[in-house]
């Protein structure tokens, strides 16, 4: 089975006033991920580019327009994102204390 290596990032989800709500460790997928092919217990999220040099970008459950990247995480924050319709986010300055992971290459297959 072919695998791909995904690298960790730490992001901070923010409310509409850009106040920190939750810190989340994610892995950068580098492309769109097919949720049907993710191993059990993993969740996919998307980054929407809303312009403004990143200050108004949002982290959402799914993005069609202005999609920048997908991320996967063991943490399920979909209810929080649904409630907010997506949330602002920033990349944290500190590195996550987690190592890169190997995922089946099939996570990208449609």
Q: Is 18 exposed, middle or buried (0-12, 13-18, 19+ CB in 10 A)?
A: middle
The residues facing 73 across adjacent strands are 43
pLDDT band at 11 (very low <50, low <70, confident <90, very high): very high
DSSP line for the chain: --EEEEEEEEEEEE-TT--EEEEEEEEE-SS---GGGSPTT-EEEEEE--STTTTT-EEES--STTEEEEEEESS--HHHHHHHTSEEEEE-SSPPS---EEEEGGGG--
Q: Is 45 exposed, middle or buried (0-12, 13-18, 19+ CB in 10 A)?
A: buried
Tokens 């991920």 — which residue? 33
The domain total for the chain is 1
- Give the model confidence (pLDDT) of 25-34 as tens digits: 999 999 999 9
Structural domain including 55 reads 3-108
- Give the model confidence (pLDDT) of 72-107 as tens digits: 999 999 999 987 789 999 999 877 778 999 999 999
Query: What is the rounded average pLDDT of the residues 38-65?
Result: 89
């Amino acid at each position: 089975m072919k695998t791909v290596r995904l690298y960790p990032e730490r992001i901070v989800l923010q409310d509409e006033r850009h106040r920190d709500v939750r810190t989340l460790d994610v892995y950068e997928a580098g492309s769109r991920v097919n949720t049907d092919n993710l191993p059990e217990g993993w969740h996919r999220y998307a980054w929407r580019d809303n312009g403004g040099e990143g200050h108004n970008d949002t982290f959402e459950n799914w993005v069609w327009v202005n999609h920048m990247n997908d991320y996967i995480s063991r943490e399920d924050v979909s209810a929080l994102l649904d409630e907010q319709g997506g949330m602002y986010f920033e990349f944290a300055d500190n590195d996550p204390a987690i190592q890169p992971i190997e995922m089946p290459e099939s996570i990208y297959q449609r």
